[in-house]
Structure 1
């Protein structure tokens, strides 16, 4: 027997039939016509490969198998009703863990706000921030159920993914305040510098490299790091230069860096919050997603207001 092919409404009807041992009374109890109830009984007989109810001199009686099913079925229906009613459970009492995927810069910005908000509104909700592995891999994690919410640029998603626009993100060239290249910063100077890129998957090329190739130019990627938290100290202490989204520099570090518009036409992108549609009705996921979209953006970072 496959649960996927089973109409769960049959179990509700069967529960009434086993309680009443009478088709007409069961039909009246569940507000169903007698012919529809009789048809449902026939389907249940096929489902369980048993007559379930048989006629006797005093009416209908339960078969031994039906008698064994009776109590277990009632327990299952009670538990299922509890599951369905949990949608209205008080957020103060819910205990649940959400897994999130986003860059470490977003974690640093959103983490304190989420901790304070959930501590006040849903103290039993725990958050697990997973290592950032890029937008493509994040979408795969959503589909596989390994991640509940993800923040990144998701310009195209499959039909099973829901998403909300959060903000527009621009790129800036980031280098330390006393960098010698600032004396004459132009395209040639920029491309001659050693470049640092941030990639959670260790990639050595980005969309910028494709853009430069189209111009007949190239750069040298001297270093790749997996997080913003590693990128910024390196930019601060070396002659490395990097093109990063503006949210990567917290406001408290503005005094340490110059943030310049790229000397090439590098378009920004839309930041999305994404989740799998299987979670569309999940109260905790919706609670956290609404807070992120409504209260956490735009971020308090360079160029984001």
Structure 2
């Protein structure tokens, strides 16, 4: 193909269309009218000899060809932007959307303070927290350019990803203040009452069950919910007991809940921040990454 015959601005338009899978949202993202974006989509279809976007049930979906273009297109445009970018960026003038994939913990801890910090330093940066479907899906989103940052457990990531350690989390046992198990909390008291298990996939078995098995014990899981946000209300009005990451538990200052260390050893977990190498020189993404790292208690060291 003769590149002189190609309007390379179409690639920027195509990136927005593939990210949004929606003509109007892509138009709003680039500041174009809806007719102009529709016309650009037609030109992209002609250029790549593929529909790229097809109508599904009430929505648009990417064709297989479009899916295959996402990662190489994102890499290409990242390199072009790196070449053309000025040596320094005034964060206060940035107008950008940064997409973060993370579960409700740590989102519970980070979203409010992140917004406040951005209002002070980079008020033009908008943040989208994307739904959590597991670490593997998060890495796939980073690879395809559908997300900019991901927070999860990411052991030993290699190229093309960057990964930095944020913190080491431990678990706490939480129940309502005045719970019968709180009077003399031990393993028997803990297991005498039904537990709340948080699982985004609806699983009824967790790491605690493996730890209990080593002691010849089991527990009853009385409620499985998809989000830590739901747990405090459940605990406050019942004899349910939850084991939660310490940073996700209700604040001990309000006096409504009692909290204990697990009466048997339960392994905690590390938390990492990851991004694709193409975002290394993206000032907006790196600024948000730095704030997230500080809020979660991590130090931004050299990324792997």
TM-score band (shorter)? 0.5 to 0.7
Q: CA deviation at 1:161?
A: 2.1
Structure-1 separation of matches of 2:155 and 2:165: 10
Matches within 5 A, 1:105-116: 105-116=105-116
- Listed as ranges, the gaps of 5+ residues in structure 2 are 4-79, 299-304
Aligned to 2:188: 188
Do the aligned partners of residues 219 and 126 (structure 1) sit closer, same or farther apart at CA in structure 2, a change above 3 Å counting? same
How many positions carry a matched residue from both structures?
222
Mark the structure with the bigger radius of gyration: 1
Matches within 5 A, 1:233-272: 233-251=233-251, 254-272=254-272
Aligned to 1:297: 296
Structure-2 separation of matches of 1:277 and 1:93: 24
Q: Please, what TM-score do these two structures have when normalized by structure 2?
A: 0.65
Aligned to 1:118: 118
Helix, strand or coil at the partner of 1:92: helix
Structure-2 separation of matches of 1:188 and 1:254: 27
Deviations 1:201-235 (A, max 9, x none): 22222112222223332212111111111111101
Q: Please, what TM-score do these two structures have when normalized by structure 1?
A: 0.65
Quote the RMSD (CA, aligned, Å). Answer: 2.5
Structure-2 separation of matches of 1:2 and 1:218: 68
Aligned to 1:168: 168
Aligned to 1:221: 221
Q: CA deviation at 1:98?
A: 1.0
Deviations 1:180-208 (A, max 9, x none): 11223221222232111112222222112
Q: CA deviation at 1:258?
A: 1.3
Q: CA deviation at 1:159?
A: 2.9
Structure 1 residue ranges (4+ consecutive) displaced by more than 6 angstroms after TM superposition: none
- Listed as ranges, the gaps of 5+ residues in structure 1 are 4-79, 300-305
